[in-house]
């Protein structure tokens, strides 16, 4: 897939370019913005991504963590019984404390590692690091449709500091 | 160049320059200071090793005071760790705009204090090299950890909190590490590149980061509460010593932890501002707002202390009454009244005045005194109750030995050392969050006065900035 990278000096010129690209019938899903601060997609006229599974992944692994806590504090206690002062070997209130911690631990691990994995797996892979973006400039990364040429979009990117192919 | 604002905050370049400056220049003062800290830490390590080789008789511990300074230090440091992540998570979730220069310092504080705190239970084990016996794994000993014990819950809770705090600290650090990556070369660039996990600042990455931060903030808050509640259960679930078996201990410990941690966050903010000249970012308004939160927590803490005290005093159980009278009017009176002065009397009076809250030297002194008071409070929870146990023939006394003092000071030096080194490797203020402020905070003129105003998404257009 052909890709085009454009670097803009500010947000206003970036938004103008996005509008121009959309006017040229480039789908919004083919446009990605690289910036040094989070900019709401609505501010750029782009749709909010709704496809993330992060909360579901955290919840699911939290349930797994809960089961792990039960196995650890409940089932293994039966395997290695330790009688103390006539207390029950398996007591649900005390298992509940352990289950609570393992639930949270699994949810936290999942959130963190899933986020790192998502960072790595984005479509910007292969895009060279450009220090100017961390310096405040804004980059646009375009996935061009296979049936259209770069030249068609270069006019829309006229406000850019630099436009270069990015394959 | 790009994201201009109307409020007169420094430019993007200026923000980056100011915040990265501590990482780029190192003076002789840094080496002298960190070298001195390293020496004190080394002495603390020597004391620990000495204690391991000789045994616990080199400490001041003796029947009935088998828990004292090491455990008090553990409770104190765990308490300090409480507020950093907690305050950061609350401010992020409530989208408090003023949080931006504060959160990194608070999160780092949690990380380093909990690292220090985690060493104390291991030291207190006596045979520290056998700490791995706490881990549940099948072995020839046929011994399994007792998951019904609050001490085991402590192990679980601290592990969860340390893990969660580290991750909560690291995720929002990634964009700033990318900024450092783009301004370094050679091996440093390789290191920072590896640490950024391919961060480019794409829209998807920002959305995923903000979603992950929101989930972590929601999960870390109850974990933070659970950690100190479980620490309190170490005492409350032991029925032996007087004054411990009380249901209010959970919330009382949590309030105390937030109190001391918040005080340390303010001290750290003042230190960073002074040492690295971050006056533009850490401003009197931040101390003012943190001071108001501190005032609220001071009142909550005192309310819970009073509820605990009154119940014990009114009950007049003989052994509890003896311990309580010794606590307040016996041999511990200088500590208990000092604690009340520093934690219950001075803070509400001082923090009620805006002028005081906005005075940074005054806030440094007060927050330092609050933590002195909170340390005394930790000692007072332990020592009077154990000294005056149920039977007079086991009553004893306790004074820390030089070994315990060495470990005590080593811990403080260790925390300061970790923070000092951290400030040379990582931006101490969140660059991207301060820059984001420039997008949303502006000035609105009403008559002759300009007020800071925060732009928020319209209803139905949520889902933007964090």
Give the DSSP letter string of B274-337. HHHT-TTTS-HHHHHHHHHHHHHHHHHHHHHHHHHHHHHHHH--HHHHHHHHHHHHSTTHHHHH
Does residue B463 have a pLDDT over 60?
no
Does residue B328 have a pLDDT over 50?
yes
pLDDT in tens, chain A (167 residues): 688 889 998 888 999 999 999 888 888 888 889 998 888 888 888 887 766 688 899 999 999 999 999 999 888 888 888 887 788 888 888 899 999 999 999 999 999 999 998 888 766 666 767 778 887 889 988 888 888 887 888 888 888 888 888 76
Provide CATH 3.30.70 ranges for chain A. Answer: 3-51+130-165
Q: What is the pLDDT of residue A3?
A: 83
Which positions in chain B touch A58 (Cβ < 8 Å)? 215, 219
Most confident of the ranges A21-35, B94-108, B352-366? B352-366
Q: What is the CATH number of domain B12-454?
A: 1.20.1630.10
Residue B79 CA: distances (Å) to CA of A105, B76, B231, B262: 20, 5, 9, 10
CA of A54 vs chain B CAs: smallest distance (Å):
7
Contact B208 A52 (CB under 8 A): yes
Question: DSSP states of B218-279 as a string?
Answer: HHHHHHHHHHHHHHHHHHHT--SSTTT--TTHHHHHHHHHHHHHHHHHHHHHHHHHHHHT-T
The string of pLDDT tens digits covering residues B152-181 is 898 899 889 999 999 999 999 999 999 998
Contacts with B75 (C-beta within 8 Å, 6 or more apart), sequence order: B231, B253, B378, B381, B382
Handedness of CA B230, B157, B419, A113 (dihedral sign): negative
The mean of the pLDDT values for chain B is: 88
**Structure tokens given for B162:** 């340390």
Work out the number of other CB atoms within 10 angstroms of the CB of residue B139: 11
Q: Which of A38, A57, A91, A135 best tests the B interface by mutation, with the highest count of B CBs <10 A? A: A38
* Chain B contact for A41 (CB, 8 A cutoff): yes
Nearest by CB to residue A136, choosing from B1, B152, B203, is B1
Predicted confidence band of residue B263 (pLDDT cuts 50, 70, 90): very high
* Chain B contact for A120 (CB, 8 A cutoff): yes
Does residue B307 have a pLDDT over 90?
yes
Contact A34 B200 (CB under 8 A): yes
**Structure tokens given for B52:** 């391991």
* Chain B contact for A35 (CB, 8 A cutoff): yes
Contacts with B37 (C-beta within 8 Å, 6 or more apart), sequence order: B413, B414, B416, B417, B420
Q: What angle do CA B362, B366, B370 make, to 5 degrees?
A: 170
Helix, strand, coil share (%) of chain A residues, nearest 5:
50, 10, 40
Nearest by CB to residue A135, choosing from B4, B12, B216, is B12
Q: Express as a percent the part of chain B with pLDDT over 90.
A: 48
Among chain A residues, CA nearest to B211 = A54
The string of pLDDT tens digits covering residues B236-256 is 888 778 888 888 999 999 999
Angstrom distance (rounded) from CA A39 to CA B13: 18
Q: What's the whole-number mean pLDDT along residues B454-464?
A: 53
**Structure tokens given for A72:** 């650890």
Predicted confidence band of residue B4 (pLDDT cuts 50, 70, 90): very low
In the three-class reduction of DSSP (H, G, I as helix; E, B as strand; rest coil), residue B463 is classed as coil
Does residue B6 have a pLDDT over 60?
no
Q: Which of B157, B160, B199, B430 best tests the A interface by mutation, with the highest count of A CBs <10 A? A: B160
CA of A44 vs chain B CAs: smallest distance (Å):
11
Q: What angle do CA B190, B30, B413 make, to 5 degrees?
A: 100
**Of B3-17, B32-46, B236-250, B428-442, the least confident:** B3-17
Q: What's the whole-number mean pLDDT along residues B114-135?
A: 88
Nearest by CB to residue B153, choosing from A77, A97, A114, is A97
Does residue B191 have a pLDDT over 50?
yes
Domain ranges of chain B: 12-454
Which of B306, B301, B316 minimizes the C-alpha distance to B257?
Answer: B301
Q: What is the pLDDT of residue A113?
A: 93
Q: What's the whole-number mean pLDDT along residues B337-354?
A: 96
Does residue B461 have a pLDDT over 60?
no
Question: Which residue in this structure is represented by tokens 């909550």?
Answer: B300
Contact A138 B2 (CB under 8 A): yes
Q: What is the pLDDT of residue B7?
A: 53
Q: What is the pLDDT of residue B408?
A: 95
Does residue B5 have a pLDDT over 60?
no
**Structure tokens given for B103:** 């959160």
Angstrom distance (rounded) from CA B161 to CA B81: 9
Which positions in chain B touch A139 (Cβ < 8 Å)? 201
Look up the ipTM and state it.
0.90
Q: What is the pLDDT of residue A166?
A: 77
Q: Which CATH architecture has domain A3-51+130-165?
A: 2-Layer Sandwich (3.30)
Residues written for chain A:
167
To the nearest 10 degrees (0 to 180), the angle between helices B402-425 and B103-124 is 150
Does residue B453 have a pLDDT over 80?
no
Chains A, B: CB contacts within 8 A come to 219
Which positions in chain A touch B142 (Cβ < 8 Å)? 80
Q: What is the pLDDT of residue B459?
A: 46
Nearest by CB to residue A119, choosing from B160, B208, B215, is B208
Q: What's the whole-number mean pLDDT along residues B327-334?
A: 90
Contact at 8 Å (CB) between B265 and B83? Answer: yes
């Amino acid at each position: 897939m052909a890709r085009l990278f454009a670097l803009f000096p500010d947000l206003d010129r970036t938004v103008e370019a996005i509008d121009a690209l959309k006017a040229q019938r480039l789908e919004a899903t083919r446009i990605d913005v690289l910036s040094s601060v989070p900019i709401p997609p609505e501010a750029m006229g782009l749709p909010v991504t709704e496809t993330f599974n992060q909360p579901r992944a955290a919840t699911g692994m939290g349930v797994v963590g809960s089961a792990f806590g039960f196995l650890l504090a409940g089932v293994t206690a039966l395997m290695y019984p330790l009688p103390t002062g006539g207390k029950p070997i398996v007591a649900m209130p005390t298992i509940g404390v352990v289950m609570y911690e393992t639930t949270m631990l699994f949810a936290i691990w999942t959130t963190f590692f899933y986020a790192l994995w998502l960072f790595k797996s984005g479509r910007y892979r292969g895009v060279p690091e450009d220090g100017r973006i961390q310096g405040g400039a804004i980059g646009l990364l375009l996935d061009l449709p296979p049936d259209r040429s770069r030249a068609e979009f270069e006019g829309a990117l006229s406000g850019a500091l630099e436009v270069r192919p990015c394959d | 160049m790009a994201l201009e604002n109307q409020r007169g905050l420094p430019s993007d370049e200026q923000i980056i320059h100011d915040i990265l400056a501590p990482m780029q220049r190192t003076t002789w003062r840094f080496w002298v200071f960190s070298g001195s800290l390293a020496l004190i830490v080394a002495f603390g390590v020597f004391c620990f090793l000495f204690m391991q080789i000789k045994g616990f008789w080199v400490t001041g511990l003796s029947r009935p005071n088998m828990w004292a300074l090491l455990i008090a230090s553990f409770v104190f440091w765990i308490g300090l760790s409480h507020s950093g992540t907690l305050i950061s998570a609350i401010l992020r979730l409530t989208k408090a705009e003023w949080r931006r220069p504060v959160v990194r310092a608070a999160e780092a504080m949690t990380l380093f204090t909990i690292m220090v705190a985690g060493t104390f239970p291991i030291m207190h084990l006596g045979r520290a090299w056998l700490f791995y016996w706490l881990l549940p794994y099948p072995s020839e000993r046929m011994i399994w950890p007792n998951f019904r014990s609050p001490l085991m819950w402590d192990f679980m809770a601290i592990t969860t909190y340390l893990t969660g705090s580290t991750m909560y600290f690291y995720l929002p650090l990634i964009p700033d590490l990318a900024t450092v990556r783009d301004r370094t070369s050679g091996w440093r660039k390789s290191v920072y590149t590896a640490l950024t996990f391919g961060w480019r600042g794409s829209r998807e990455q920002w959305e995923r980061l903000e979603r992950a931060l929101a989930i972590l903030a929601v999960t870390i808050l109850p974990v933070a509460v659970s950690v100190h509640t479980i620490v309190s259960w170490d005492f409350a679930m032991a029925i032996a010593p007087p004054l411990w078996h009380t249901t209010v201990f959970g919330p009382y410990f949590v309030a105390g932890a937030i109190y001391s941690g918040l005080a340390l966050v303010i001290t750290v903010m003042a230190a960073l501002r002074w040492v690295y000249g971050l006056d533009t970012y850490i401003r009197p308004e931040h101390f003012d707002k943190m001071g108001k939160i501190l005032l609220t927590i001071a009142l909550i803490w005192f309310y819970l202390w009073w509820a605990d005290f009154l119940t014990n005093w009114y009950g007049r159980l003989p052994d509890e009454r003896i311990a309580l009278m010794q606590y307040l009017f016996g041999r511990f009176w200088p500590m208990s009244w000092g604690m009340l002065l520093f934690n219950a009397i001075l803070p509400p009076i001082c923090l009620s005045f805006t002028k005081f809250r906005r005075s940074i030297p005054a806030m440094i002194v007060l927050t330092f005194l609050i933590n002195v008071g909170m340390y005394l409070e930790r000692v007072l929870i332990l020592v009077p109750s154990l000294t005056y146990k149920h039977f007079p023939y086991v009553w004893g006394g306790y004074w820390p030995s030089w070994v315990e003092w060495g470990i005590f000071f080593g811990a403080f030096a260790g925390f300061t050392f970790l923070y000092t080194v951290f400030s040379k490797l990582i931006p101490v203020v969140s660059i991207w969050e301060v820059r984001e402020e420039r997008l949303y905070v502006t000035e609105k003129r009403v008559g002759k006065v300009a007020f800071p105003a925060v732009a928020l998404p319209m209803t139905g257009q949520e889902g933007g900035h964090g």
